[in-house]
Structure 1
Amino acid sequence: MLKKPVELSIIIISYNTKDILKDCLVSLFAAKTTKDSWEIIVVDNASSDGSPEMITNEFPDVMLLPQKKNAGFSVGNNLGMRKSKGEYILLLNSDTQVPSGSIQETLQYLKHHADIGVVTCKLIRSDGSMDPACHRGFPTPWAALTYFAGLEKLFPKSKLFGQYHQGYKDLSQPHGIDSPSGAFYMVRREVVDKVGFLDEQFFMYGEDLDWSYRIKAAGWKIMFYPAVNVIHKKWQSGKAHPEETQRRLTQKYFFDAMKLFYKKHYAHRYGWLVTGCVLLGIKLRSLL
């Protein structure tokens, strides 16, 4: 009997996340039905905690792509996408857990809307609140200013001050956004073929925003689909170092990504004064 073509490729990056990765994989295989034509690909970025051995021993149906060094989130996902065969692709963090039916429902929504290139779900943090990173606008100079100045926090429902996380939108209904989080990012292969892969200049953070920017510029819609909730144990997939070291690395990657995104997409649109102020602001924030 001929094998069914792969419909969905699920790609997970792992770096010393053995325990949460196992939880993620258990939830995926529990959610997968005999009707689903999925492949699950784990790109392991040179973990030293036994993650590759755990996958080999406990999840033989997973395609494991072990790497000799940690080259970052973008490089790892691009490797996974190049190896994948699915008509649709889901980038999934190792610190997520997917309830039964969640991936199937999200996929059906994407399949039935030909003008949508990317769809995400509502990510729920361990405390039960929504992860705001799954529902973002682009970090224009104004959006970044109001966010870092605390105005968005003071006026979360304001369209003027809440442009980054767009809290003024109805979070109970599907609607367009600028970018989801890379923790749950479902995209058509057709989009990847036309727009290209993740920009590997982004080591970690910002690559999802950059990809979304390019995807929307190519004319595709990006949708938030809140009927599906997925658990996101935020920050867990990045905890591969001692706490203080991890804090410094996270801060460095985040602000490096902010600077790169601004230079790539906004510097040519704003004058030297605005650009200088933005880059100075990023530098000062990185020192706090």
Structure 2
Amino acid sequence: MKLSIVILNYNVRYFLELCLKSVQAATVNIEAEIIVVDNSSEDDSCQMVRDLFPEVVLVENKENFGFSKGNNIGVKKAKGEYLCILNPDTVVPEDAFEKLLEFSTTKENLGIVGCKLIDGVGKFLPESKRNVPVVNAAFKKLLGNSNDYYANHLENNAVGKVDVLVGAFMFLRKRLYVDLGGFDEDYFMYGEDIDLSYCVLNAGYDNYYFGKISVIHYKGESTLRDKKYAERFYGAMQIFYKKHFKKNWLFDVLVWLGIKLAFTFRPAIVQKIKTVQRYVFVSDKMDVRLENKISKKIILKSDLKNIEPETEIIFDANVLTFKSIIAMFESDKKTDLVTYKILPNQSNFFLGSDNSISQGKIIVLT
């Protein structure tokens, strides 16, 4: 077995279905297994996996163990030489794993490999490549200056060494993951990817950013950006500094105080009101289910030329490859006035997200 793909799920049944269909398409030509660990979802995620993906190894946890422990449970089931830790709210191109396996064989000191992540409107997610969040860099970021926090020495489409990669997509050898103890389970959610990346560096390995592969990460699906999110995020920062940078009591107090101030005075999230005047269905033929569901005009197209503002674009994965859909996400003119949805192959819904800070929208078709 070459590759084990571990997907930790919690209450994102429709995004998980889309993710699994893209992963299936990306593993056709390689020896791979897919492991879904469900952290006690309250929706019908598990039943969906059993019904639609019987070949997937499904682990049903009886409680929500969090990101670190949930993934560690999945890795214990893995039989592959390589691992990919993957979020359920992602869409991968068909050649992603083949390219990463080929790249990995050229590196003797391989740590973790990450890829280029984009959000639901095609915008680059800067957390795809980061520096170690030393105290100065972290506090600058909290004050609005992220130049030292993100790995800006590499272009977004480049390939090269970086310090920290994001847990939504981590590719590495299973042996390294196991030797380092996997994700630190002191982190319930957030910070565990920074911690593992830093541990890999300290063990003498090289982490790489592989910007030739783009993956959609809807991001807002994994969690809501509410008070609990903020508490967990800043709590994870405290764990990281205590574990790796603890120096003396004064330093600890300053870090604790800084985190508390950042939490207290964090900027409010303001979401824009979305207006859709028309829909464009990118396919080779109209889907009658869309016509029955959507009251506004639907235009059938095979490209994204001459797209007007206030348009929602629906990509038909029954006709288009996931790689071509991702490419169109990136190539289209970036504007908040154009949004995207994907109709997965052989599915009765389409979905998407208009930003990276909130949950997206799912439209079920009859």
For normalisation by structure 1, the TM-score amounts to: 0.89
Q: Which residue of 2 aligns with 1:57?
A: 51
Q: Residues of 2 paired with 1:52 and 1:267: CA distance? A: 42
Find out whether 1:164 has 2:149 as its counterpart: yes
One-letter code aligned to 1:176 = K
One-letter code aligned to 2:259 = I
One-letter code aligned to 2:233 = F
Q: Residues of 2 paired with 1:111 and 1:238: CA distance? A: 35
Q: Residues of 1 paired with 2:25 and 2:156: CA distance? A: 28
- Deviation of the 1:127 alpha carbon: 2.1
Q: Which one has a bigger Cα radius of gyration?
A: 2
Out of 251, 257, 264, the residue aligned to residue 230 of structure 2 is: 251
Q: Which residue of 2 aligns with 1:118?
A: 112
SS of the residue 1:237 aligns to: coil
One-letter code aligned to 1:66 = E
Q: Which residue of 1 aligns with 2:175?
A: 190
Find out whether 1:14 has 2:9 as its counterpart: yes
Out of 126, 132, 141, the residue aligned to residue 126 of structure 2 is: 132
SS of the residue 1:47 aligns to: coil
- Cα contact 1:117–1:222 (8 A) shared by 2: yes
Q: Which residue of 2 aligns with 1:281?
A: 258
SS of the residue 1:79 aligns to: helix
Q: Which residue of 2 aligns with 1:32?
A: 27
Q: Residues of 2 paired with 1:67 and 1:172: CA distance? A: 38
Q: Residues of 1 paired with 2:97 and 2:229: CA distance? A: 29
Q: Residues of 2 paired with 1:169 and 1:117: CA distance? A: 18
Out of 74, 88, 102, the residue aligned to residue 108 of structure 1 is: 102
CA RMSD of aligned residues (A): 1.3
Q: Residues of 1 paired with 2:111 and 2:46: CA distance? A: 32
Q: Residues of 2 paired with 1:65 and 1:185: CA distance? A: 20
Out of 80, 83, 100, the residue aligned to residue 77 of structure 2 is: 83
Q: Which residue of 2 aligns with 1:68?
A: 62
Structure 1 gaps of 5+ residues are 1-5, 153-161, 240-245
SS of the residue 2:42 aligns to: coil
Q: Residues of 1 paired with 2:144 and 2:228: CA distance? A: 24
- Deviation of the 1:15 alpha carbon: 0.6
One-letter code aligned to 2:98 = Q
- Per-residue CA deviations over 1:128-168 (Å, capped at 9, x if unaligned) read 1211111111111111121111123xxxxxxxxx2211224
Q: Residues of 2 paired with 1:184 and 1:99: CA distance? A: 13
Q: Residues of 1 paired with 2:63 and 2:32: CA distance? A: 27
- Deviation of the 1:193 alpha carbon: 3.2
- Per-residue CA deviations over 1:56-91 (Å, capped at 9, x if unaligned) read 001001100001000100011000011111000000
One-letter code aligned to 2:154 = K
Q: Residues of 2 paired with 1:192 and 1:20: CA distance? A: 26
Q: Residues of 2 paired with 1:58 and 1:26: CA distance? A: 10
- Deviation of the 1:221 alpha carbon: 0.2
- Cα contact 2:26–2:93 (8 A) shared by 1: yes
SS of the residue 1:236 aligns to: coil
SS of the residue 1:214 aligns to: helix
SS of the residue 1:49 aligns to: coil
Q: Residues of 1 paired with 2:94 and 2:58: CA distance? A: 23
SS of the residue 1:27 aligns to: helix
Q: Residues of 1 paired with 2:8 and 2:145: CA distance? A: 34
- Per-residue CA deviations over 1:234-276 (Å, capped at 9, x if unaligned) read 121225xxxxxx51221111011011001100113xx443332
Q: Which residue of 2 aligns with 1:151?
A: 145
More helix by share: 1
- Cα contact 2:117–2:128 (8 A) shared by 1: yes
| Larger CA deviation: 85-94 vs 138-147 | 138-147
- Per-residue CA deviations over 1:91-119 (Å, capped at 9, x if unaligned) read 00001001110121122111221211211
More strand by share: 2
Q: Residues of 1 paired with 2:153 and 2:112: CA distance? A: 21
Number of residue pairs aligned between Structure 1 and Structure 2:
265
Out of 163, 186, 201, the residue aligned to residue 186 of structure 2 is: 201
Percent identity for Structure 1 against Structure 2: 38
For normalisation by structure 2, the TM-score amounts to: 0.70
- Deviation of the 1:50 alpha carbon: 0.5
Q: Residues of 1 paired with 2:253 and 2:121: CA distance? A: 38
